[in-house]
Structure 1
Amino acid sequence: MSAHNHSAMPSALSQTLQPLQTQWTRLAPRERRSVALAGALLLLALVWWLALAPALATLRNAEAQHHTLDAQLQTMQRLQAEAQTLQSQPKMGFEEALRALEASVRQRLGSTGQLQVVGDRATVTLKGASADALARWLAQARINARALPSEVRLVRSPGAVPAGGPTWDGSLVMSLPSR
C-alpha cells in the first residue's frame, strides 16, 4: 500500500462517522446520557450473553459432571481390579473349564440354553433366555470357566415381552482354554 492509500482509510472512516458526530452534538446533554446509558446496557447484555452466561452454565453443571466422572472412575477401577484378579488366577485346563462352563449353563440358563462342544470351542444355543440370566451367565462363564465369546448371534425372541423384559434366541460360540 502506498502512503496515500494508507492515509485515505482514516479519512474515509471520519467521513462515514461525521453524520453521527453531528447528530451527537445536536443532542441535549440529557439525551446524550440516555443514549450512552442505552449503549452501556447493550454492551453489558452482550458481555453477559457472550462471556458470563456460558461460564455460569458450565459452573452449574460442574457438580453433576463431577459425579458422573466419579462414577465412571469407580467403574473403571472395579473393572481393573476384576481384570487383575482374573490374571492372578492359576491357568485352567480344558476339561476343568468345560465342566465349569457346563455347570454355569445349567445353573444360569437352565432349559433356555443347550451346550455343544466341538474341538476347543463350545456353542451355547439359546431359546427364550432372559437378558438378566444371559448377562449373569456370561459373567460366570468368563470368571469360572475362563470362556470368552468369540461369535455371538442373538435376536430378540418373537412374541410379547414378558414382565422380566425381552428374551433372546440365538447362539454364542465360546473359546475355551486349549487342551
Structure 2
Amino acid sequence: MTSPLLKLQSAAHQMWQQRSLRERLLLQTAAWLIGLVTLWTVGIAPAMRTWQAAAAQQTALDQQSQQMQQWQAEAKRLTSSQATTRADATQWLQAHISDLGPKAKLQMQAEQIQLTVDAAPAQALALWLSQAREHAHVRPVQAQLQQTPASATAPGVAWSGTLLLSLP
C-alpha cells in the first residue's frame, strides 16, 4: 500500500520530468522569486521597519522617562519637605499677603484661613497660591471668586472674592 503522500510525490516527479528544460528553469526561477518575496515580506521588511523606528521611539521614551523623573522629584519634594507648623505657615502667609494688593486680608478660622482679595491680579494670585502651597503647605479648600474689570491698579484680569485655605 502506498500512502497518498507518496502518490502525490510520484505524480509531481512525473510531471516535472515531462517538462522541458526551459519550463523547469522558469518554474524554478518563479519558485525562487516567490520564496524571496515571501521571505522579504514576512521576515526582513518588518524587522527593518522596527529597526528604523527604534531611534525615534527611544527618543520619545527618553523624554517620557525624563518627565516622569521630574514629576517623581517634585512629588518627593512636596511630600518629604520639612514639616511646617501652623505658626510658621501663618507667619509666611502674613508676610506675603501684600503681594495680592492693599485690600487683601487674612482671617483665622480654626483649622483654616480665609483669604479675602479685591481686584487681585490673576497672575499675582496664581503665583501667591503656588508659593503658599510650597512654603506654607496650605491648600485651597474652597474658592468664591469673581472676575473684576481691569483698573489702573490691576490692568488685565483681576479677581475679587474669598479663598478658604487649609493649614498644615
User: What TM-score, normalized by structure 1, do the two folds share?
Assistant: 0.53
Structure 2 CA distance for partners of 1:22 and 1:85, relative to 1, 3 Å: same
**In structure 2, what is the Cα distance between the partners aligned to 1:144 and 1:173?**
17
| Equivalent residue number for residue 81 of structure 2 | 89
Among 20, 29, 37, the alignment partner of 1:45 is 37
Given the alignment of the two structures, is residue 34 of structure 1 paired with residue 26 of structure 2, yes or no? yes
1:13-162 → structure 2 map (5 Å cutoff): 13-94=5-86, 96-97=88-89, 120=111, 140=131, 142-147=133-138
Q: C-alpha root-mean-square deviation of aligned residues, in Å?
A: 4.3
Shift of 1:88: 5.0
**In structure 1, what is the Cα distance between the partners aligned to 2:2 and 2:109?**
87
Contact 1:101 1:144 in 2 (8 A): no
Provide the aligned length of Structure 1 versus Structure 2: 137
User: What TM-score, normalized by structure 2, do the two folds share?
Assistant: 0.56
Which runs of 5 or more residues in structure 1 are unaligned?
Answer: 1-8, 125-131, 152-171
**In structure 2, what is the Cα distance between the partners aligned to 1:10 and 1:103?**
102
Contact 1:148 1:174 in 2 (8 A): yes
**In structure 2, what is the Cα distance between the partners aligned to 1:70 and 1:175?**
38
Structure 2 CA distance for partners of 1:27 and 1:71, relative to 1, 3 Å: same
Structure 2 CA distance for partners of 1:37 and 1:76, relative to 1, 3 Å: same
Deviations 1:44-97 (A, max 9, x none): 111111111111111111011111111112112222332343355321124554
Deviations 1:20-61 (A, max 9, x none): 222211111121111111111111111111111111111111
